[in-house]
Structure 1
Amino acid sequence: MADKFRSLPGGPGFYAALVLCLAVAGVGGYFLLMDRTPEPAVQEEPAVQKEAAAPVTDLPAQLPETETEPESEPEAEGAEEQPVSMPETEVAVQAPVTAEEPLTVVSPLEGDVVAAFSMDQLLYNPTLEDWRTHDGVDIAAAEGSSVLAASAGTVVAVDDDVLMGTTVVIEHSGGYHTLYANLQSPPVVKAGDTVSAGQLIGTVGTSAAAEAAQGPHLHFSVTLDGEPVDPASFLKK
């Protein structure tokens, strides 16, 4: 038997090496097969379907807006308070109102009216023998009879008129002026004097050349803002 192994090519060492190689090849093939074994497939978990949230319908259509007050900045310590200056307003200064005395009127002379007031119709003037308007009234009286101021006022003129003779003009409140003509000269007042109602200013005369035919009388006329007015309406105040 030993002779048979010797007769084979390579001898016993050859076969031992061959067995070793086969063993190594078998182990390597085993591990190679193990690496190629497919791993079991991992099943993915089914996706959980999320339920859609139901719409909220109970909320109010619009929420009320709330006003927020702005935060005031803290004042710096030690800061001085500034005085608040108020805007200056112009105050209208009203002039003091002086109460005017009521217009007291008295008749300047008691007597008969021999020529009436007439600015709409012409009256016959016997002295000048013509027809003309008459801006006052002629009151007949004895020469030297007292003539009184019809109302309180200031004497603004004392004249010797060519046609109306000695004349006194007094200014009154309310735009009135009174005129006293055909007086004796001189009258007892002068321009600038202040008179009261019923104060003596002169006497009846015959100085009016334009009314000489009517004898002694007082020619009395009144104007309002420069326009002649009926003395009778003025005396009724």
Structure 2
Amino acid sequence: MKKPFMERFGDFMAGKGFYIVLFLCVAAIGISGYYLFSSLSPDKDPGTAVAGPAQVTVTPTPASASPAVRVTPTPSPQAQTAVRTTPAPSPTPAATPAATPQPAAPTVFAWPVKGTLISEYSVEALAYDATMGDWRTHSGIDISAELGAQVVSAAAGTVIDVVQDDFMGTTVYLDHGSGLTSCYANLAAVPTVEIGDTVRAGDVLGSVGKTAIAESALPAHLHFEMAQDGSPIDPADYLP
């Protein structure tokens, strides 16, 4: 009686069939390994088809050549040639002109008019003023003289002012240097000197008048004052 196929296959596998199947499996593994190794070998013929993803080599297209631009490099500060700069000469300061020395004030004065002293210098004590009817200071001296008598410079100097004072009438001021000045008031309306005139001792400045309203109660006279640096001083200390 013929055995079924499965029994016969089982008998076959229990005998020589097992070894045959094992051989076939080993052979199949070897063949597969051979082909796999051949596909990875660099010496493979390029015409042989290879399984797996194809490798594509892309050659970049060269860009159009740009026109060459010539760049001149800027030299570094270290590479620059040292330039020796000659400093500009400092301007010579202008010489300061020496101050013109003021002439020394005269030490001797002359009486500006011939006459009698009727009012003395008084700035520390009050003196009675007959014109104003009160007691007040008197910053000069009053020398009586005939109306129209010549009034002269008590010392050399320069005329620095000629004014028509509301109280002391026509007045002439002289600068004698070193801050010393003299004043001639109650002159006639028109003096004989002008501002800027240089006079010597004894030069005529004007004449005795009656233009000083503040001393109109006194007889005709010359009101004479002196000052040092603007402060009144006693003329009697300078007159002979």
TM range (shorter): 0.5 to 0.7
Higher alpha-carbon deviation: 105-114 or 126-135? 105-114
Equivalent residue in structure 1 for 2:206, among 196, 202, 209: 202
* Alpha-carbon spacing, 1:155–1:97, altered in 2? closer, same or farther (3 Å): closer
**How far apart are residue 192 of structure 1 and its match?**
1.0
**How far apart are residue 185 of structure 1 and its match?**
1.1
Name the residue aligned to 2:236.
Answer: 232
Name the residue aligned to 1:182.
Answer: 186
1:214 and 2:218 matched: yes
Equivalent residue in structure 1 for 2:155, among 111, 130, 151: 151
* Unmatched tracts of structure 2, length 5 or more: 1-94
User: Contact conserved, 2:120 with 2:142, CA < 8 A, in 1?
Assistant: yes
User: Contact conserved, 2:105 with 2:180, CA < 8 A, in 1?
Assistant: no
* Unmatched tracts of structure 1, length 5 or more: 1-91
User: Contact conserved, 2:105 with 2:177, CA < 8 A, in 1?
Assistant: no
User: Contact conserved, 2:104 with 2:178, CA < 8 A, in 1?
Assistant: no
Instruction: Give distance in 2, aligned partners of 1:155 and 1:95.
Output: 25
- The superposition leaves residues 117-163 of structure 1 with CA deviations (integer Å, 9 ceiling, x where unpaired) of 00111001111101100000000000000100111111111111110
SS of the residue aligned with 2:178?
helix
Instruction: Give distance in 2, aligned partners of 1:143 and 1:135.
Output: 22
Q: Aligned pair count?
A: 146
Equivalent residue in structure 1 for 2:164, among 160, 166, 171: 160
Instruction: Give distance in 1, aligned partners of 2:187 and 2:99.
Output: 40
- The superposition leaves residues 75-133 of structure 1 with CA deviations (integer Å, 9 ceiling, x where unpaired) of xxxxxxxxxxxxxxxxx999487684661421101111110000111001111101100
Instruction: Give distance in 1, aligned partners of 2:102 and 2:116.
Output: 37
Q: 2:162 is aligned with what amino acid?
A: V
Instruction: Give distance in 2, aligned partners of 1:151 and 1:119.
Output: 24
Instruction: Give distance in 1, aligned partners of 2:214 and 2:103.
Output: 38
Instruction: Give distance in 1, aligned partners of 2:193 and 2:168.
Output: 18
1:193 and 2:192 matched: no
Q: 2:195 is aligned with what amino acid?
A: A
Name the residue aligned to 2:176.
Answer: 172
CA RMSD of aligned residues (A): 2.1
User: Contact conserved, 1:222 with 1:234, CA < 8 A, in 2?
Assistant: no
SS of the residue aligned with 1:192?
coil
- The superposition leaves residues 155-181 of structure 1 with CA deviations (integer Å, 9 ceiling, x where unpaired) of 111111110000000111121110000
1:107 and 2:111 matched: yes
Instruction: Report the TM-score when normalising by structure 1.
Output: 0.58
* Alpha-carbon spacing, 1:161–1:172, altered in 2? closer, same or farther (3 Å): same
* Alpha-carbon spacing, 1:95–1:111, altered in 2? closer, same or farther (3 Å): same
SS of the residue aligned with 2:236?
helix
Instruction: Give aligned-pair identity as a percent.
Output: 43
